[in-house]
Copies of this chain bind each other. A is one copy, B any other.
Amino acid sequence: MTAGGERVLVVDDDPPLQRMLARTLTAEGFSVAVAADGGAALAEAERSLPDVIVLDVAMPGMDGLAVCRRLRAKGMTTPVLMLTARDAVPDRVRGLQAGADDYLVKPFATEELIARIRALTRRGAPATERLQFADLSLDLSTRTATRGGRSIELSGRESALLELLLRDPRSVLTRERALEQVWDDAAVPNVVDRYVGRLRRKLGDPPLIHTVRGVGFMLRS
């Protein structure tokens, strides 16, 4: 919305489509970066922290679903718009479950693509780098938490979980939601407890992460 326009990362392995998207989006005032495969996409997403990612499902190597899961696992919540050639419902569902925020079937009208990107940037948290609560803060780009001046290195999962807690302090994070957001659906629920434990130890006293028995965990002073 500001002078430079929102930054969009386009991930697609098809050069003509890349060019088309880049041109269209630029013309609409977005500033566009392009990545041609999953690995490049992850690297670029972490480096430049775009406002939206437009992600093709079908790619050689790591496909769009995997890229999206990896992003979420790293704790990135950047809105993802998934592009696919297939229209079968199970695929659409899988896309959303992988953590995508929206879904568009090829071929699409460019107007619609733009409207959807706008909808995502409008509602998405503006790619905040830093989350805070009480004397705790978390820098997502470096995965470093700070508590009372002391800085604490976190692993990917630890940071993703803490982020989830920080995005909604004083409200309960259920195991289900944590599993869904931070892990791929196949993990055993206990893994959440395990990581909560690690975070508690790392974050020190007084405790900030509270258990709500039978429900989940919560951040509160």
Contact B176 A2 (CB under 8 A): yes
Tally of contact residues, A, Cβ under 8 A: 46
| Cα A124 to Cα B115 with chains together (Å) | 18
A119 to B123, CA, bound (A): 13
Task: Please name all residues of chain B whose beta carbon is closer than 8 Å to the beta carbon of A214 when the two chains form the complex.
Answer: 3, 156
Contact B123–A97 (Cβ < 8 Å): no
Tell me if A137 is interfacial: C-beta within 8 Å of chain B.
no
Q: Are B218 and A172 in contact (CB under 8 A)?
A: no
**Is A44 interfacial (CB-CB < 8 Å)?**
no
In the assembled complex, 9 residue pairs joining A and B whose CB atoms fall closer than 8 Å, in A order, are A89-B109, A90-B111, A92-B112, A96-B115, A101-B123, A122-B181, A126-B168, A143-B215, A156-B214
Q: A3-B215, A97-B115, A102-B119 are in contact. List 5 more A-B contacts (CB 8 A).
A: A4-B215, A79-B123, A89-B111, A96-B119, A155-B213
